[in-house]
Amino acid sequence: MGMSPPHQPDSREHTPPRWLLLRRGPWRAAAFALLWWVLAAGDFGSWVIGVPVSLGAAAVSLSLAPHKLWRWRLLGMARFIPFFLRESLRGSVDVAIRALHPRLPLAPVVVHYRLHLPDDFARVFLANTVSLLPGSLSADLQHERLSVHVLDRSLPVEATLQSLETRVAGLFGVEQAESTASVEAPRD
């Protein structure tokens, strides 16, 4: 608990200029228009609303975009998506069994996990996916410190978080920082 490795500086020095993001504007507008077309089931009259909404959504998504350009790796997606779907299915079944069980088998614990991902965006992405994994819900994220609320301390949360982190690193194509102890031992 007393040990605190040095804070990893964010790799902000490689930030591209803001205007580079604007190149993505037409692509995003096209993607939102495609989405509109799917949702509106090809109704032509709906484009009166669809076109302005697509443009507005593209503008909002660019203004909210992280300053760093990132893209998902195909190989990383092939590793991440099946894992995420399988684990979230297990997570739903696990919590459903616990909710229906007459004795409510709960032994909740708050685990503090030190992330090894160097990138803020990847960290936020991981923190959000954690909430669908079995028995875990991300409670707080402060730089590289992630607090995870766990339903039952007998669940292998550390192993799940490590394999999730490896896959998120592969998804974003970033290296994980070296470190040994990642989960702080629970205090008695």
What minimum distance in Å lies between the beta carbon of 157 and another protein? 12
Report the residue number, 22 or 110, with the smaller CB distance to another protein: 110
- Is residue 73 close enough to count as binding another protein by CB under 8 A? no
Strands (E) across 120-168 are located at: 136-142, 145-150
178: region left, alpha or beta (phi > 0 left; psi from -120 to 50 alpha) = beta
Among 127, 155, 164, 168, binds another protein (CB under 8 A): 127
What minimum distance in Å lies between the beta carbon of 19 and another protein? 28
Q: What is each CA distance from 183 to 110, 112, 114, 119, in whole angstroms?
A: 11, 6, 6, 19
- Is residue 147 close enough to count as binding another protein by CB under 8 A? yes
- Is residue 182 close enough to count as binding another protein by CB under 8 A? no
Q: Whose CA is closest to 160, among 130, 122, 127, 186? A: 130
- Is residue 183 close enough to count as binding another protein by CB under 8 A? no
For residues 92 and 77, give the distance between their C-alpha atoms in angstroms, rounded to a whole number: 22
For residues 116 and 101, give the distance between their C-alpha atoms in angstroms, rounded to a whole number: 36
- Is residue 38 close enough to count as binding another protein by CB under 8 A? yes
Stretch that binds another protein, among 19-27, 95-103, 115-123, 171-179 (CB under 8 A): 95-103
Report the residue number, 58 or 144, with the smaller CB distance to another protein: 144
HSE-up (13 A, CA, CB side) for residue 79: 15
- Binding residues vs another protein (CB under 8 A): 1, 4, 6-7, 35, 38-39, 41-42, 88-89, 91-96, 98-100, 104, 106-112, 127-132, 135, 137-145, 147, 149, 151, 153, 184, 186-187
